[in-house]
């Protein structure tokens, strides 16, 4: 199977480093410079004290031509509009946070479309090196079409880089959305690692309040179970700094629109007042404005 990975951030490099042992992998980066560096150095995977190097084909995205069996979209949700026009059919596997892209996926002509929820911890050390900080699982589900390519991928990677096949893509993404909507904005505004949201009693009060508001907006049926799940994620990743916090610290654009923006829109559709959700959304949007140098 030939696999193309669009996006050479931490998740794109992580997937490429594991998939390259079994498949012919091509990585498409945003810049020519990064593609040249990956071609020169390969992709280096750091995990604990171990170090592994794999060679993959690397090209800038402008040279993407679909001729693979599976294309994995490992870009941020707000970057999808830049790459979707080049995708002409094929088997597409989307790994974005949030749920705002589901409406866009409905419009694609591809016969087989899959969505995923990545629960690994990963950070990019440089343009060709990724550190696997925390082992997890990639949950996947069929958005449209046949599950055969996903089953094949899951069977091949079983035990090494597990990919599970879930029955309901909406419930799968909803669970990840709730966790991201609670943890990411709070850690990004407060500037703390995930575990501090539970350790600090005052942060924990805000944690519980925003969860309750989000649960009401999204009409969660299994609220207690979902809260337990979000708290377990915080505990398992206690020392981790969320991706949104990292983006704020690096003065990059965040995924606030894809995550909390989706919740805000759902509240507006239902004419529900959501002061906490809206305030954290506006605080993060304000940080993005500061990044742009507008104020």
Is 3 in contact with 26 (CB distance < 8 Å)? yes
20/153 same-domain check: yes
Domain C-terminal end among 167, 186, 203: 167
pLDDT digits (tens, 9 = 90+) for 252-289: 899 999 999 999 999 999 999 999 999 999 999 999 88
61/147 same-domain check: yes
Per-residue pLDDT, 247: 92
159/257 same-domain check: no
Residues constituting the chain: 295
pLDDT digits (tens, 9 = 90+) for 114-165: 999 998 888 899 999 999 988 889 999 999 999 999 999 999 998 899 999 9
Is 236 in contact with 58 (CB distance < 8 Å)? no
pLDDT digits (tens, 9 = 90+) for 10-39: 999 999 999 999 999 999 999 999 999 999
Is 181 in contact with 209 (CB distance < 8 Å)? no
Q: What is the DSSP letter of 42?
A: -
139/182 same-domain check: no
Range of the domain at 274: 172-292
Question: What mean pLDDT is predicted for residues 66-82?
Answer: 89
Per-residue pLDDT, 121: 85
Tokens of 15: 């997937």
34/180 same-domain check: no
Tell me the three state secondary structure of residue 5: strand
Tell me the three state secondary structure of residue 26: strand
pLDDT digits (tens, 9 = 90+) for 194-229: 999 999 999 999 999 999 999 999 999 999 999 999
Per-residue pLDDT, 109: 86
Domain CATH for 248: 1.10.1040.10
Provide the whole-model pTM.
0.91
Q: Where are the alpha helices (DSSP H) in the chain?
A: 10-19, 32-41, 80-83, 102-106, 148-157, 169-190, 196-199, 201-218, 223-236, 243-249, 256-269, 275-292
180/111 same-domain check: no
157/204 same-domain check: no
47/143 same-domain check: yes
35/163 same-domain check: yes
Domain CATH for 87: 3.40.50.720
Q: How many CB atoms lie within 10 A of CB 36?
A: 16
Number of domains in the chain: 2
Rg, Å, the chain Cα set: 19
69/194 same-domain check: no
Domain C-terminal end among 107, 134, 167: 167
Is 113 in contact with 94 (CB distance < 8 Å)? yes
Which is more confidently placed, 289 or 54? Answer: 54
163/176 same-domain check: no
Residue 67 predicted with pLDDT over 70: no
150/274 same-domain check: no
Residues assigned a catalytic role: 176
Per-residue pLDDT, 295: 35
Q: How many percent of the chain have pLDDT more than 70?
A: 98
Question: What's phi and psi for 143, nearest 5 deg?
Answer: -90, -35
Cα pseudo-dihedral 266, 188, 173, 221, rounded to 10: -60
Domain C-terminal end among 118, 145, 167: 167
Instruction: Name residues whose C-beta falls within 8 Å of residue 135's C-beta, 6 or more positions apart in sequence.
Output: 120, 121
Per-residue pLDDT, 87: 84
């Amino acid at each position: 199977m030939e696999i193309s990975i669009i996006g050479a951030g931490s998740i794109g490099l992580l997937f490429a480093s594991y998939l390259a042992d079994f498949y012919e992998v091509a990585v498409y980066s945003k810049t020519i410079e990064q593609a040249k560096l990956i071609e020169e150095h390969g992709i280096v995977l750091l995990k604990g004290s171990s170090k592994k190097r794999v060679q993959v084909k690397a090209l800038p995205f402008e040279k993407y031509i679909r001729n693979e069996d599976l294309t994995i979209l490992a870009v941020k949700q707000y970057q999808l509009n830049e790459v979707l026009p080049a995708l002409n059919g094929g088997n597409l596997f989307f790994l974005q946070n949030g749920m705002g892209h589901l409406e866009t996926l409905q419009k694609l002509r591809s016969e087989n479309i899959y969505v995923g929820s990545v629960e690994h911890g990963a950070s990019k050390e440089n343009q060709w090196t990724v550190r696997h900080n925390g082992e997890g699982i990639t949950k996947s589900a069929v958005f449209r079409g046949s599950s055969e390519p996903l089953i094949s991928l899951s069977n091949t990677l079983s035990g090494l880089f597990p990919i599970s096949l879930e029955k309901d893509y909406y419930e799968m993404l909803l669970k990840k959305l709730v966790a991201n909507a609670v943890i990411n904005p709070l850690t990004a505004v407060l500037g703390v690692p995930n575990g501090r949201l539970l350790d600090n009693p005052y942060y924990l009060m805000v944690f519980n309040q925003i969860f309750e508001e989000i649960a009401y907006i999204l009409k969660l049926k299994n609220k207690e179970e979902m809260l337990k799940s979000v708290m377990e994620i915080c505990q398992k990743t206690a020392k981790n700094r969320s991706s949104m916090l990292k983006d704020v610290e690096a003065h990059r654009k965040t995924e606030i629109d894809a995550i909390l923006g989706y919740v805000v829109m759902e509240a507006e559709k239902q004419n529900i007042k959501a002061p906490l959700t809206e305030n954290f959304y506006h605080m993060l949007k304000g940080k993005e404005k500061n990044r742009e140098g507008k104020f």
